[in-house]
Amino acid sequence: MFAAVLRLAVAESVSESLATTSPASSASEPRSTWHIPAMLALALGGFGIGTTEFVTMGLLPDIARSMHVSEPTAGHAVSAYALGVVVGAPVIAALCARMARKRLLIVLMAAFALGNAASVVAPTFATLTVARFASGLPHGAYFGVASLAAASLAPVGQRAKAVAAVMLGLSAANVVGVPAATWLGQNLGWRDAYVVVAILGVATVAAIYRFVPELHGIKLTDPRTELSALRRSQVLLTLVVGAVGFGGMFAVYTYITTTLTDVAGLPSGLVPVVLMLFGLGMVAGNIFGGVLADRGVDRAIFVSMLSMVVILAAFVAAAHNPYTAAFGAFLVGASGASLAPALQTRLMDVAHDAQTLAAALNHAALNIANAAGAFLGGLVIAHGLGYTAPAVVGAGLAVVGTLMFAGTVLVARSSRSQ
């Protein structure tokens, strides 16, 4: 039954990708070349955001010891950041709809830097949780606006690659930023990791000011227009798919440090190396996902979701050996990152005039997945099921997400046939 539905949905998605002309493509005049300095500036913001989002997971044991809380409780700092993204993405995208996009990007990264500076000086776990929530507020809106900016600056027919270029900063953070900040936090204190992130935020402000053009091609809207995205069933269904399906990666990654040391038997000094492998997987998956999405957005989502099901299920066994655990971490990162460009591009396609809010909400959905994955992973650990149990939860979430997306594509087909 599922196979038949999936084949029908994939076939529909392929025909849709060939027939659909994206409204985003008309946002500005078509370009024939890449605007490299602007893309790098936008990706630098993604690098800083990716570093702060994921470094907390690598430093959970250190934060727990310093703040005198259990590791599952320390995981609430991860959830707080994710919830900040969920709250900030729609509120900022709607309220700032009339603000010039370059100026908005600068304001968002300045707020991001301040939130991470507050994390450095937080005296208690409660204040750290508040600071992490504040740090997450600009996250979704930044990626939403940056994705639209990149798409407007991209050559014709390469929108998904442009979106992936912005996401590449987030993926690259897991190759360089997160391992380096984790090493720094483990050796000098976890607060120093957030010092680095705050500096990255300031550097991004300077880079955007210097290299990103004024983005006159992106149409300014108003709060009512942006909020109209919430009335579009395909926007809402796609967001739910991301919120559910992406949770599997976060269920594993939130507790990856203890999984590697206690289950795989890896020395703690080598954990940053595996985190770097996870990041390399995200880079590879992000690039592959962008290329695949330019050939068919819905098909790319199906491929990514199904790969997550298989890889997360296999990680349950792979986690018991340091070599297979390291390779499994690479594959978990690759499968998860490959999904992001396609989801982002699909939301931009189905949102019509409300692209800023829809693009921002994608990151709200992914951080609902982050919060849910961290919570569910901690829940099964707290109930004594061990550190491989989050991978079982993750595989289940990916299955549910795949089924939900099959339904989403069928709903779209039914709407067009009426």
Question: In the chain, what are the domain boundaries?
Answer: 2-417
Residue 202 is predicted with a pLDDT of 96
Residue 270 is predicted with a pLDDT of 85
Residue 184 is predicted with a pLDDT of 86
Q: Which of 218, 228, 216 is nearest to 357 (CA)?
A: 228
Residue 315 is predicted with a pLDDT of 93
Q: Where are the alpha helices (DSSP H) in 59-174?
A: 60-67, 71-95, 101-121, 125-136, 139-153, 159-172
pLDDT 10s digit of each residue in the chain, 418 long? Answer: 434 433 444 344 434 433 333 333 333 444 557 678 888 999 999 999 989 987 887 788 889 988 888 887 888 888 888 788 888 988 898 888 788 889 999 999 999 999 999 999 999 999 999 999 999 999 988 988 888 888 778 776 676 777 777 878 877 887 888 778 888 888 888 899 999 999 999 999 999 999 988 876 677 777 778 887 777 888 888 889 988 888 888 888 888 888 898 898 888 888 878 888 888 898 899 888 888 888 888 899 999 999 999 999 999 999 999 999 999 999 999 998 899 888 888 887 888 777 778 878 887 888 788 778 888 888 888 888 888 899 999 999 999 999 999 998 888 887 776 5
CB 218 within 8 A of CB 27: yes
Q: Which two tokens stand for residue 414?
A: 């039914």
Residue 268 is predicted with a pLDDT of 80
Residue 86 is predicted with a pLDDT of 82
CB 78 within 8 A of CB 254: yes
Class of the domain covering 2-417: mainly alpha
CB 308 within 8 A of CB 248: yes
CB 175 within 8 A of CB 283: yes
Rounded Cα–Cα distance for residues 52 and 60 (Å): 13
